[in-house]
């Protein structure tokens, strides 16, 4: 390989590294596991429908105290987003269950507890606070 070709190769490698640092591009991502537990109330079934821009995970019914889980690998661009709709009795709610900018560094194994008024998450692989609670989204996703 000639001197000029080596210089071009070095420039391309340098640009790739620089772009990955500036844009959040990742060369390797970890697998994420999301677990959703029904804590609505005794005898109340929870229906969950989760999807991203690329995947529709289907509709799942969770008995009280039961769990539904799914796994995925975040994309290398830092743009992974999973949102879920939740319904029980006469209620319909939605929530962004995984947002890359919020969850990538804290969630490899996140457990969500769904209640009537909010969702709480604990990251079993994180030293962060044991549980963080969120209000439902103001917009409902179909």
Q: What is the mean pLDDT of the chain?
A: 81
Query: For 2-16, how does the pLDDT look when each residue is reduced to its tens digit (9 = 90+)?
Result: 777 777 767 666 555
Instruction: Compute CA distances 115 → 58, 65, 108, whole Å.
Output: 21, 11, 22
Q: What pLDDT, on the 0 to 100 scale, is given for residue 76?
A: 79
Could you read off the pLDDT of 64-104 as tens digits, one per residue? 999 999 998 888 778 889 999 999 999 999 999 998 888 87
Q: What is the pTM of this model?
A: 0.74
Q: Three-state DSSP class for 11?
A: helix
């Amino acid at each position: 390989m000639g001197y000029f070709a080596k210089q071009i190769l070095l420039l391309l490698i340098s640009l790739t590294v620089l772009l990955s640092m500036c844009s959040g591009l990742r060369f390797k991502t970890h697998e994420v596991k999301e677990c959703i537990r029904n804590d609505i109330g005794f005898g109340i079934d929870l229906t969950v429908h989760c999807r991203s821009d690329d995947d529709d995970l289907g509709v799942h019914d969770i008995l009280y105290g039961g769990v539904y889980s799914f796994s995925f690998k975040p994309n290398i661009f830092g743009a992974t987003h999973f949102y879920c709709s939740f319904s029980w009795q006469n209620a319909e709610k939605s929530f962004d269950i995984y947002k890359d900018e919020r969850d990538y560094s804290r969630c490899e194994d996140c457990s969500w507890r769904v209640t009537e008024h909010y969702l709480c998450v604990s990251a079993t692989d994180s030293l962060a606070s044991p549980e963080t609670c969120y209000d439902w989204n103001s917009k409902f996703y179909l």
